[in-house]
Structure 1
Amino acid sequence: MSFNAPTKPKLTLRLCEPRGFCAGVDRAIQIVVLALKKYGAPVYVRHEIVHNRYVVDGLRDMGAVFVKELDEIPDDGQPVVFSAHGVPKSVPAAAATREMLYLDATCPLVSKVHKQAMLHVKRGRHVVLIGHKGHPEVVGTMGQLAPGTASLIETVADVAAFEPADPAALGFVTQTTLSLDDTADIVAALKAKFPQMTAPSSESICYATTNRQEAVKASAEGSDLFLIVGAPNSSNSRRLVEVAERAGAAHGLLVEGPDEIPFEMLTQEHPVVGMSAGASAPEVLVDAIIAALRERFDLRLELVQTAEENENFPVMRALRDVPLTSADMAFVNGGA
């Protein structure tokens, strides 16, 4: 007598490409790993190097020590790394005063926004920064400028209330991880109210944010659930949830791993699930979620690719000759 195993229900998983680590995140993680190899533990990191618990815990296991401010770091000669989100000018100045060895892992695209903002000021413009109050990137960008030379705009309503001293002398920049659609609405409102406002010399929202949002838009329509792998404090990941729901997903959800999958939402016949990952989410978490879905469902995998990414941001010269093991490289690239 033979027994047939119960048939698993069918599920289609639309997997977005590009997803996960961007070149700036990859560079920042690599800087911490290389610093640990070159200088030994501890290597101090001011704030989370990137917004992902898996990455932070992994680096902590290697010997990284995460601090909120420099005054938590003893004068032991060990290096400190500044996070990918960027820091105010006062932070490296304070490190230099203490003769600390510091390594700046600020994403080059965030540094570009800093330069754009400073150029506006140099040319006599008041800077309008479109972004989210309190986000480390916004704090870092505002911290490049003298007090009173920049204003933060978060919403279209903020535009209506904004009354600058000289409406003819404004220049805007944006946080790199914003929603393209929300930012377009805010910029349109600013231009309508201040037609002489100057745009930055190039787009502030980074390529990775744009690419991930476009892939989600292309795969969201008709999905019963759209999973975004990322941390709750990751701006670009939260924006992807919003983009998915606006683009037609019945439900969007931010998850950090397979334990947070709401299987109770997938009881209909042949559900369709979309999935992407924020720019600071490692691929190992995506793999774990696919494995969890495969355990319960007869999984059909569809890849939705809207762009190819081959950007690479090299680390600083002081770390370029430090060798990494295959295990180190796997972690840097988002693997286990």
Structure 2
Amino acid sequence: MSDPFLDVRDLHVSFETMDGLVKSVDGLSFQLERGQTLGIVGESGSGKSVTSLSIMGLHRGGNARISGQIMLDGTDLVTASDEKVRGLRGKKMAMIFQDPLSAMHPFYTVGHQIIEAYRVHNNVSAGVARKHAITMLDRVGIPQASSRVDDYPHQFSGGMRQRAMIAMALSCDPDLLIADEPTTALDVTVQAQILDLIRDLQSEFNSAVIIITHDLGVVAELADDILVMYAGRSMEYASAHDTFERPQHPYTWGLLGSMPRMDRVRTERLLPIVGAPPSLINVPSGCPFHPRCAFEDRTGGLARTERPEFEETLPGHFVACHLSAEERRRIWETEILPKL
């Protein structure tokens, strides 16, 4: 059996600060195949973006401490040289950043930036690269692409900048596309267009896609599998179907309880998760979610003292929780589901 296209194994990412060591990613593992989409969800500060930037090698040269393995098509990105990672970035893997206005250089036209990214990995003339940039802008739905190619980022609307960022990311047909909050601050109509665009381009290039978001509606639309993160750790990993139909972790229940339902009338008001995410400098002992967990008292004190193992409880369904599988099933069916 061949190795997965992307294989993240026991990834740890931490940062030295004046206040102490920030453990942004703490033992994360997941896999992704070509043509598949993984949704990574969780509240702000759960480690989603740090994970994606680590895969792209954008924490190199700073104060980040990175350990574990990030295997991309057989290459370990953690131990690879800076030159090797730069060669892969853009061609083998690309990223759509959360804020395209700050991710794109304000002093250069949109077309110039796409042309530069394309010529780094392709031995072509500036004229050929310009034609390719216009083609990519046209493919992502930029009107009058032949003239807008010479506009600056501030001359584009938010939705158009996001499309231009997608055009730049896809200009070299990457095998891995990471989209970090690709629909943030966009109206719902543009959101739907962006999601359709990512789906269509993935189908055309057979790319592996990671969607990073706190919006469960986005991952329900796109993802094959969903990874739920909290305090830099994996809380639950399952297919999108199982995550929505048979979630097993109290944190996942909390996320679902905070989400409006469009398919049926809710019997209860939205149920926000009490409290706030923990400091990643002083992560709670045991299960990091236990200070906010409504079912912590049913673990016999284990949630406060012991870190739960990330275990496969059903085929392809992993969860890190001290509650027994039978207890989680009973709570979901009798206490949580009737309120959603």
TM-score w.r.t. the length of structure 2 is: 0.30
Greater length-normalized contact order (CA 8 Å, ≥ 6 residues apart): 1
TM-score w.r.t. the length of structure 1 is: 0.30
Q: Say which structure is richer in strand.
A: 2
